Chains A and B, each alone.
Chain A
């Protein structure tokens, strides 16, 4: 049976049957609907000009999230409300965020503006006021080449929630969203692509068994590029978002565990409490739009040597649970990667969940991300350090890096050297030298081998200084 993709486009219920479910939402809006307010600036989720807002019901309330429509598949819209820039003006009156952007002269060429408006609109519906630092966090996914941002930041800072027509119609919206069928296995098929939305783990695992080549889709922040940039045809796509086991977050006294499809945004509050350094790093991973879509599970499983999740998780001793119809198994993330973009995952398996042990009292953990640009950039080098002390003796140490090898990698030699040693400047200096010998990173456009080697050992020094309270700040950017 082929189902139809149903969603609200602004306030209108749309039902699509004959559309390639892997078409990007941006292309759908511009080419199928001929509504042209949403722009393409890069087709890779890096500029934000295509930002739209997706609304879904979370804990009975509507949740508004800015998303990059250029790498979002139409099939992922099922059961959600898609708000575009055209939907904001109401009864011929600008929405408060639109008015703020006009009042503060937030647009010049205007091409990035609809994207900023949608990012601001999502902020508006968080119903709070924003510090400048929070504004930077929210807007790092929207590039503007004209204004120098100052007026946009001022516009964002002026936002005060005072309702709007979406708020007025929220019950109506909820009713409409609830009327869209989400139970059971949904299948959309058109133009050579089949898009499955299973709603249980069992159903997912069955699909996985049946279609081992199917692409698993969580946020699609990587997979989206296969369509938007590489114009590939993906024959089978399995959307993970409706499988509740993959969306769970559980915190116990000694560990945090979360499903593979939990978005970064939904993880952030848990990280903030348990792993402040990881929290700060994740705020620099992608942008708000990317964090709203993307998941740590996806980041781990695409096994990129420069994915930012893995080094931190390896240093923290985190593990993953892999599941198939044959059962589950747990693997330390440190043992997961076998080669460039290759993991030990079997073809019938899926990543079910990730488990991070909480820090013990005598453990110190820091993760440092080095990139050309502070926000929304891919790491040149990412270093994560976790040491358990026995007084001033290193009882156990885990050091992991991204950007230093073909996979995220532990610095085993350096770890071995440090274990059992006094945590002193002299020890660390020797360890730095060892670390410089440990890897042979490549030179590319993000950084030379020299820089990667140099900065990775300097990060060890920085970790030492931070761990011994000799360095108050961990970087040049200050959060209030």
Chain B
């Protein structure tokens, strides 16, 4: 980073909307001025996990005062399908309902209260069928949403048979609700020609456009989708908003009025998908030192009633089940289990955290068996840099820096000393126990479906020199707009305030991918740079001609343009270029090179590069109650050359806390009929202020650039820090182990609620 950078790449800038966030001026979808006669909605959902719909009677609801439309699947104009990968994923149930909360009927009325009241008048007759609610039952019955998929390298069978030591085990890992503060919402405005303008809180406007068009039987050019910002996404607004938008758009089409569909918190949590729960089994062979010599992993994910993104998520879980460890002879099987529960979906990490979770568990169990510090066993199994560097999907790791991260963090966290002190503390304390862990991570970056790795941008320079930037990425708080604006400001060497990014809309940049897979700044930053460089070349050519100098002597610095001995402000040069009839608008485009994956052979290079990090976590545990407090966390995290250190820091800290929540207090509880019992913050507990570590040291790895050609040598940061939450889990396990003098097996499932911890302590 140049010291002179005050607002370009690498500068410590604030989020572009920070001033609007703090004043309440930032506009979210629900804050947009409503058109007169805007209708409000309620969704009638299935009370059964699995049932046939025998009849739907809407007569009384339709004639209820203030109600303007009551619609069900038979009213759909086009295709009743929002499946992002596989077909037949209905927005409104047709003959069958497959989870409690599945939308069946939608109502538009003058107010939300009236729509809700009318919903009680809708009578749906069901014939109840037996549901499969449990992932284990689905696995046993081979009840899948798609074909299982496996990775294989070497010969795990032989390796296991020849192993010096061998053990088997199983573990359950719970899901997680996104709990974005802004719930799902869409406003649909009908336009002429049956066109539809859709304001959607979505990470994927192009997908909403596609699905709404298909649902209304329109061409995509008839649907415009716009989103300025989301109040959080975390993957929950990748595919889920399409359902909401389709419902709103259909009601708008039928009533010819603007329709707002906003889910309340309970409806949001019941109707929309979450992070996949997993059930794992493992069979591992290892040396007396703890080196893994052969392994077989089975990952069964609870997909819910349809596939949604489950296959891609399971793929990523498989790809991540090596974490930073070299598995020479490995078979890793993934089973996408169909259950009669809400369809689980993308959530920060996209299966990756679940994949890494199981290998960390295996390492921990091996360490426990060998009575070794898990950290030593981890290091023993680290990927090499020159050899021992081929993954189970046969990608060679070319950028491994986990060794230097480990070395640095061991020192900065004072790891060994604290490890010893904690053992001493535990000897002297009967009821309170401490635990510490050192957990590394590696995160493969790219959409594993190659074609998604593309992005576009649109840049206008107006005649006054102000720059208007659009790209396909969406802003959900992660600071993408700020980062991409920094890229463009750097290209033109102008102040960041000269670059304005407005709402993401399908009108500006077409055919975009979701803002997901941590790829937002990698893809859109590059596309914007590409567009900016086109414009810059035109300006250089113009300046060279105007001042009769060589193009190579035209440079941009500090809002000025220098052409040989001439200097002119950027704004003035742009003004002159306009009069000279130079085109001042350009599109940019980018596609990630090098990546491919052949699913038929389970081989390829799904990831452009990897990002690394590690976390040392320490906890204090009350063995009488199972209560636990994270007392300290030290994180060292790799973001390459940071585009925006403040923004990146926010992602790392926030990711860690969210990951910690996943494995500790965030517990989704269903009853035996398949109803979610924790569907609001009163019952579903995400971390609050006091839950963060008392001592919280977070560092970005310094002096490190991405080895691949990424935007200004930066690396992705959205999802990877989420993985650090796993260190908390292992610190808890460490504390529990001390209760059995580090000699007994620990049976702990995730999340580690106080109850789960007490159960583990009690079973020792």
Contacts and interface: CB of A to CB of B under 8 A. Distances in A.
B690 A146 contact: no
Interface string A78-104: 000000111011000010001101110
A431 interface: no
B21 A113 contact: yes
B629 A108 contact: no
B696 interface: yes
The number of chain A residues touching the other chain, given as a range, is 35 or more
Interface in B653-699: 653-658, 665, 667, 669, 677-678, 680-683, 685-692, 694, 696, 698
Interface in B624-654: 624-629, 646-647, 649-650, 653-654
Interface in A444-474: 444-448, 450-451, 454-455, 458-459, 461-462, 465, 471, 473
B230 A145 contact: no
Interface in A42-60: 42-44, 46-47, 49
Given A110-B231, A143-B686, A145-B232, A34 B624 contact: no
A439 interface: no
Interface in B566-618: none
A94 B20 CA distance: 10
B42 to A, nearest CB: 10
A41 B265 contact: yes
Contact of A147 (B19, B20, B24, B650): B650
A43 to B, nearest CB: 6
Contacts of A405: none
A42 B265 contact: yes
Nearest to B231: A111
A334 interface: no
B646 A105 contact: yes
B137 interface: no
A108 B628 contact: no
A37 interface: yes
Interface stretch (A179-187, A241-249, A335-343, A366-374): A366-374
Contacts of A85: 22-24
Interface string A118-143: 00000000000000000110011011
A101 B17 CA distance: 12
B14 A105 contact: yes
A454 B762 contact: yes
Nearest to B668: A445
Contact of B477 (A88, A146, A371): A146
Contacts of B231: 39, 109-112
Interface string B416-434: 0000000000000001100
A150 interface: yes
A2 B453 CA distance: 65
A285 interface: no
Interface in A259-295: none
Contact of A451 (B649, B686, B755): B755
Contacts of B23: 37, 85-86, 88-89, 94, 98
A458 B627 CA distance: 12
Contacts of B477: 107-111, 146
Nearest to A471: B431
Interface stretch (A197-205, A311-319, A375-383): A375-383
A461 B15 CA distance: 51
B47 interface: no
Interface in B98-118: 113, 116-117
Given A94-B19, A139-B688, A380-B755, A476 B654 contact: no
A145 B180 contact: yes
The number of chain B residues touching the other chain, given as a range, is 35 or more
Interface stretch (B27-35, B439-447, B464-472, B708-716): B27-35
Contacts of A44: 265, 680-682
A371 B28 CA distance: 34
Nearest to A476: B629
A38 B22 contact: no
B689 A146 contact: no
Given A98-B22, A370-B625, A375 B116 contact: no
A148 B659 CA distance: 10
Interface in A10-51: 30, 34-44, 46-47, 49
A144 interface: yes
A39 B231 CA distance: 10
Nearest to A109: B477
Given A107-B22, A145-B180, A376 B229 contact: no
A428 interface: no
B653 A147 contact: yes
Nearest to A35: B24
B757 to A, nearest CB: 10
B428 to A, nearest CB: 12
B682 A465 contact: no
B87 interface: no
Contacts of B27: 36
A114 B24 contact: yes
A39 B650 contact: no
Nearest to B113: A231
B173 interface: no
B650 A135 contact: no
B429 to A, nearest CB: 10
B264 interface: yes
Interface in B191-248: 229-234
Contacts of B232: 109, 111, 145-146
B107 to A, nearest CB: 14
Given A152-B689, A376-B688, A145 B179 contact: yes
Contacts of A451: 626, 754-755, 758-759
A152 to B, nearest CB: 7
A475 interface: yes
With a 10 A CB-CB cut-off, give which of A46, A139, A231, A476 has the most chain B CB atoms: A476
B520 interface: no
Given A41-B182, A149-B689, A455-B758, A108 B265 contact: no
Nearest to A88: B23
Contacts of B113: 231
B665 A43 contact: no
A107 to B, nearest CB: 4
Nearest to A155: B22
Nearest to B690: A136
Interface of B: 14-15, 17-28, 30-31, 33, 113, 116-117, 178-183, 229-234, 264-266, 431-432, 476-479, 620-622, 624-629, 646-647, 649-650, 653-658, 665, 667, 669, 677-678, 680-683, 685-692, 694, 696, 698, 753-755, 758-759, 762
12 contacts: A43-B265, A107-B17, A109-B182, A110-B26, A114-B22, A145-B658, A146-B650, A148-B656, A151-B653, A375-B689, A458-B625, A459-B625
Interface of A: 30, 34-44, 46-47, 49, 84-86, 88-89, 94, 98-99, 101-103, 105-114, 117, 135-136, 139-140, 142-153, 229, 231, 368, 370-378, 380, 444-448, 450-451, 454-455, 458-459, 461-462, 465, 471, 473, 475-478
